[in-house]
Amino acid sequence: MQLDFTDKRVLVTGGTRGIGRAIVEAFLAAGARVAVNGSTEETTGKAVAELDGGDRVVAAPGSVGPEAACKSIVDAAVGGLGGLDVLVNNAGVGGGGPVEKTEEADWDRVVDINLKGVFFMTKHAVPHLRESRGNIINVSSVLGLVGSPYGSPYSASKAGVISLTRSHALEFGRAKIRVNAVVPGGVDTDMLRGLALSFADTVEAGYEILAKDAKAQRRIADASEIAGPVLYLASDLASFVTGATHVVDGGEVID
C-alpha cells in the first residue's frame, strides 16, 4: 500500500545519508515536499542535487544541537516549504568507549546531537505544527532500551529520546500534535559498517556477528525498512498513535 503525502511538508534532520536519506526518499515517493537537513551546506546541497526533486526538495543545513542552529534549520524548512506538517528528528552520531577513557567533549558531542538536538528542533517546530496539527517522529535505537557496554553516552542519549517522545506526546496532545519514536536495530549505514569492521576484517563478516542479535530474522536491515514505519506513524493510519515506541529490530529485544 502506497501512503499518500501529496503536498505535506516534511523536515528530516540528518537526511543526507543512511536512515535519514531513505526516509527522505520514501516521503518524496509518497508525494511530499521535503526539507533536507545535513550538517553542512555542502553535504546538504549535494543531497538535494542528487535527489533531483525540483521544487519539492529544499535545503535546511546546519548541525543540530545548539538551539540557534536548530531554529535556523526550522526557519529554512518553513521558509522553503511554506509551513510544516511533519518533523523527523533523525540526526545522530555514534560514540563510545570505556567510561574511564571517555572525555567530557566526547560525551557532549553525542548528547548534544542525539538528545539536545531533538529537544530544540521540537521546540522551534511546534509553533508550526500547532497550525497544521502535524506530528513528530523521533529516531531512537534499541541500545536506548537495552544499553550497551562501551557505548553508554550513545545508549543514554537514545534512551533520553524515548523519554522525550513520551513527555512531548503528553505535553502537545491537546494541540493535536502526535509524537512517536521509531527504534531501529541493526541497519546498514556508515555507522554500523564502522562497527562491523571493529569485529571482523570485512563488513560482511562483521554483519554476520551483529545479525545474531536480531534473534528472529538474523540479518541487518536495509535503511528503507526503517523508512516504512516512519511514514506509517506520520500518516493518518496512525491517527490514534502517540507516545509510542515503535521497535523495528528484527527481534533484537525479544527475551
Of residues 151 and 28, more confidence is placed in 28
Would you kindly state where each structural domain of the chain is located, as residue ranges?
9-185+222-248, 187-220
Helix or strand run (H / E) with residue 59: strand 57-59
DSSP 233: H
Q: Kindly report the CA angle at 63 between 210 and 73, in degrees rounded to 5?
A: 120
Supply the mean pLDDT for the chain: 92
Q: What is the mean pLDDT of residues 134-158?
A: 94
pLDDT at 40: 96
Alpha helix stretches (DSSP H) within the chain: 18-29, 41-51, 67-81, 104-111, 117-132, 143-146, 152-172, 190-199, 203-210, 224-234
DSSP class of 232: H
Class of domain 9-185+222-248: alpha beta
pLDDT at 211 over 80: no
pLDDT band at 149 (very low <50, low <70, confident <90, very high): confident
Which has the closest alpha carbon to 84: 24, 123, 139, 134?
134
Q: Which residue stretches of 17-116 are H helix?
A: 18-29, 41-51, 67-81, 104-111
| pTM across the whole model | 0.93
Mean pLDDT of the region 152-177: 97
- Report the catalytic residues: 154
pLDDT for 1 beyond 60: no
Q: What is the mean pLDDT of residues 160-166?
A: 98
pLDDT in tens, 60-85: 999 999 999 999 999 999 999 999 99
Query: ∠ CA(249), CA(156), CA(182), 5° rounding?
Result: 35
**Per-residue confidence (pLDDT) for residue 251, from 0 to 100:** 86
Q: What is the pLDDT of residue 254?
A: 82
pLDDT confidence of residue 190: 73
Q: Give the model's pLDDT for residue 82.
A: 98
Taking residue 35's Cβ as centre, other Cβ atoms within 10 Å add up to: 27
Check the CA dihedral 211-93-222-161 and report its sign.
Answer: positive
**Pairwise CA distance, residues 139 & 221, whole Å:** 15
Residue 39 has pLDDT above 70, yes or no: yes
SS3 letters across 25-49 = HHHHHCCCEEEECCCCHHHHHHHHH
**Rounded-to-integer distance, Cα 235 and Cα 12, Å:** 15
Q: What distances in angstroms separate CA 16 from CA 43, 44, 55, 196, 211, one per listed residue?
A: 7, 6, 17, 22, 25
In the predicted structure, residue 49 carries a pLDDT above the cut 70: yes
Look up cell 545535513; give the residue. Answer: 38
